């Protein structure tokens, strides 16, 4: 039954199914209880109407029994759809066949059976195509294609005209239903695709809005840092200079005043030191100011100008799903790679690639066409760059592979990193 392990029920499907079965049940009970002259027309069908009303009433009760849905889970809807197929076929083809019907039914009334079955089966077809793939539609109506003629074989005599008519009507019905089911499943497939695209667009929009908020906060912090530097830091610096000048001209006999001035100078210097430390913490790095993508772009532009090499940068949408610590570590890793390329590789082309690996995470590759090196011969006690890269990747729970020369070109070097994606903390998520 793995076929039926599908996405959650389509919105509104179960509610419409319940309304349909309830309305059909009431409809058949209504005609079952009609007096003459309706009785004279539907008299031979009263048993069929009663069974149809009972069948759909039981199906309505099943659909309204919420506990069954929790117990049966993915089988809940398929059972209901199969029941909605068996009820009209069984009740209409089997129940009415009696001697009374064979003698009383007129030729004008005989097509009612076929039309009733077709109309009642059209609804489970729509529900099946609405919720499931076309393969499931074929499965359900393959069952229908077997059940409908089989019941007729038991009812009608072999070779009778009624048997051929029923089999013909069943074949036409199944062919038409298959075509309709294919159209509906294709429409639903397109709708689900559009819905997924919309969800992805909304996710990107939320990520962009988060970045805008973060950039606004960072810019405000930088503005405050600049104002504090221009006002408070300059004031404290100027105050220190004036106090030192005063201390220099105080007569030696004014020892007490010199001590007080010295304390004031030390306080001003301490305040200036703390102010500079606070300003340094308040100012943001490029990564915090612009986000990972723009920060890496700016860094690459600076290194390419210094090293006179061309950089091919490619970003995957998965890069926006990185956590803050992951962004910080990747930024520093790329910076270390570019620093090594600048000083040692003598490269003319560099590639920095962010590649989505689905459930495995994000792969980051830094590739150059330089002279290459022997990774296993690098002394970690004197060259900390590669050790730093490995340590940062390890902290992120990822894997790193350092290759030189690159097999495809027999030269250059490649740093390949694969890290799992963490859920990014968004402090504004619940606002």
- For residue 99, the model assigns a pLDDT of 40
Q: Confidence band (pLDDT; 50, 70, 90) for 204? A: confident
Residue 153 has pLDDT above 50, yes or no: yes
At 59, the pLDDT band (50, 70, 90 cuts) reads very high
| pLDDT score at 382 | 53
The CA-atom distances, in angstroms, between 94 and each of 31, 39, 51, 139, 169 are 19, 20, 10, 23, 16
Q: Give long-range contacts, CB 8 A cutoff, 24+ apart: 23-26.
A: 24/52, 24/56, 24/120, 25/52, 25/53, 25/56, 25/57, 25/59, 25/60, 26/53
Residue 149: what pLDDT? 62
Alpha helices by DSSP H, listed for 96-160, are: 99-104, 111-131, 134-155
pTM of the predicted structure, to 2 decimals: 0.44
Q: What is the mean pLDDT of residues 247-272?
A: 82
**Residues 91-123 pLDDT 10s:** 776 554 444 444 444 444 445 566 777 788 888
Kindly tell me if the per-residue pLDDT of 7 is higher than 70: no
């Amino acid at each position: 039954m793995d076929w039926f392990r599908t996405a959650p029920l389509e919105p509104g499907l179960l509610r419409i199914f319940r309304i349909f079965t309830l309305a059909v049940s009431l409809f058949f009970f209504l005609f079952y209880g009609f007096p003459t002259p309706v009785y004279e027309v539907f008299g031979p069908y009263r048993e069929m109407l009663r069974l149809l009303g009972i069948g759909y009433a039981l199906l309505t009760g099943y659909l309204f029994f919420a506990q069954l849905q929790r117990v049966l889970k993915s089988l809940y809807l398929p059972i209901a759809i199969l029941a909605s197929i068996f009820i009209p076929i069984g009740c209409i083809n089997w129940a009415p066949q009696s001697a009374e019907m064979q003698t009383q039914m007129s030729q004008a009334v005989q097509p009612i059976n076929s039309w009733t079955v077709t109309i009642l089966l059209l609804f489970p077809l729509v529900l099946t195509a609405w919720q499931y793939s076309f393969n499931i539609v074929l499965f359900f109506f393959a069952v229908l294609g077997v059940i409908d003629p089989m019941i007729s074989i038991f009812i009608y005599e072999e070779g009778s005209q009624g048997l051929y008519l029923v089999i013909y009507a069943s074949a036409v019905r199944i062919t038409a239903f298959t075509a309709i089911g294919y159209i509906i499943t294709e429409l639903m497939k397109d709708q689900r695709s559009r819905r997924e695209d919309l969800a992805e667009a909304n996710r990107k929009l939320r990520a962009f809005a988060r970045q805008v908020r973060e950039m606004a906060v960072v810019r405000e912090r930088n503005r405050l840092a600049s104002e504090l530097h221009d006002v408070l830091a300059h004031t404290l610096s100027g105050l220190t200079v004036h106090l030192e000048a005063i201390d220099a001209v105080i007569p030696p006999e004014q020892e007490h005043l010199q001590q007080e001035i010295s304390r004031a100078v030390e306080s001003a210097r301490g305040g200036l030191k703390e102010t500079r430390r606070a300003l340094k913490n308040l100012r943001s790095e490029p990564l915090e100011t612009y986000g990972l993508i723009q920060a890496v772009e700016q860094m690459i532009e600076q290194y390419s100008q210094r090293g006179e090499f061309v950089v091919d940068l490619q970003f995957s949408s998965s890069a926006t799903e990185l956590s803050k610590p992951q962004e910080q570590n990747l930024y520093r890793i790329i910076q270390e790679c570019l620093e090594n390329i600048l000083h040692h590789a003598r490269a003319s082309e560099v590639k920095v690639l962010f590649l989505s690996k689905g459930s495995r995470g994000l792969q980051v590759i830094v590739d150059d066409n330089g002279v290459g090196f022997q990774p296993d011969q690098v002394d970690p006690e004197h060259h900390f760059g590669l050790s730093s890269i490995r340590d940062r990747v390890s902290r992120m729970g990822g894997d790193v592979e350092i290759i030189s020369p690159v097999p495809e070109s027999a030269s250059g070097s490649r740093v390949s990193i694969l890290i799992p994606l963490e859920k990014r903390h968004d402090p504004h998520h619940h606002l």
